[in-house]
Amino acid sequence: MICYALNSIFPFRVGEAARAVLVGRREKVSIATALATVAAERVVDSLTILAGLALVFWRVPFGNVEMQYHGFKVDPEKLKELARIYIALPTALLVIAILLMMNAAFRRLVERLIDALGFLPPFLRNAARKVIEAFALGFDSLKSPARVFWIAVHSVLIWALVAWSVPLIAYAFDVPMTFLQGLTITLLICVTILIPAAPGYWGLWEAGFLLAMKLMDLSATPDTVVAMALLTHLTQYAPVILVGAVCAGVSGITLREAAHTAETVQKQAG
């Protein structure tokens, strides 16, 4: 929660580095090992999101809407066709990357290739080796089927709870919405906030919400949709900062101190 609070306030996703530092201190492990937990969590989280996108594009009916963007016409059928391609490709690449990084011989080969790039400054080569080490440790933790199962269950439950909150807010606005439609909104927001933005994803978050509502052709006035988007964002934003600040206080550190520590670690790594 400290990590997510920092990502909501400060730029450059300093929360990830802060989580590695805090985990390292609490569990008395190296930062590289702590970074491995971040890598493993992100990998499983990405696979969960991709699986969720595949589900909603398969099961959720879209309306007969057509949008134009810089001369391109996009309708739901074209979008679903593009989604099938761009979901399958990253999923395949991610799975292949996991399998390769679990192989010690492949990792040694990659490290030798990095060392062979003599034109790169030493600090860049060292940073690349640290990243590979962190990912390798994270992927090694995924070799246990039981561990993978429980991580996947945790990830699915978290995203399901977030998605469930959207129909609850829609109900307050008298807008009928199913759980799968709420999941569609949640996951399309995840796509739009991939674009680098100011902390909190304000603007892009609302754009993803509006896009999903339009694609599903859910009946609501424009003012209602904007109000729903802002309220949904606020209810998923403010509690994260509040709980993160409380957790930081319990851990004996302020959010600003955690961010400063993370920035120091990032500079040392890069």
For tokens 């590695």, name the residue.
Answer: 20
Do the Cβ atoms of 52 and 183 come closer than 8 Å?
A: yes
pLDDT at 159: 92
Distance, in Å, from the CA atom of 225 to the CA atom of 168, rounded to the nearest integer, reads 14
Do the Cβ atoms of 9 and 262 come closer than 8 Å?
A: no
Three-class secondary structure of residue 74 per DSSP: strand
Q: Please state whether the predicted TM-score (pTM) of the whole model is above 0.85.
A: no
Do the Cβ atoms of 265 and 20 come closer than 8 Å?
A: yes
Hey, where are the domains in the chain?
Answer: 2-269
pLDDT in tens, 215-243: 888 888 989 999 999 999 999 899 999 99
Rg, Å, the chain Cα set: 21
pLDDT at 268: 59
pLDDT tens per residue across all 270 residues of the chain: 888 888 888 777 778 888 888 888 888 877 777 777 777 777 788 888 888 988 888 888 887 777 666 666 667 777 777 777 778 888 888 788 777 877 778 888 888 888 888 777 887 788 777 777 767 776 776 777 888 888 889 889 999 999 999 999 999 999 999 999 999 999 999 888 877 666 778 888 999 999 899 888 888 898 999 999 999 999 989 999 999 999 988 888 888 887 777 777 666 555
Do the Cβ atoms of 180 and 61 come closer than 8 Å?
A: no
CA atoms within 13 A on the CB side of 265: 24
pLDDT in tens, 110-145: 888 888 887 778 877 887 777 777 677 767 767 778
Written in H, E and C, the secondary structure of 166-206 is HHHHHHHCCCCCCHHHHHHHHHHHHHHCCCCCCHHHCCHHH
pLDDT at 267: 64
Q: Which two tokens stand for residue 219?
A: 């009946």
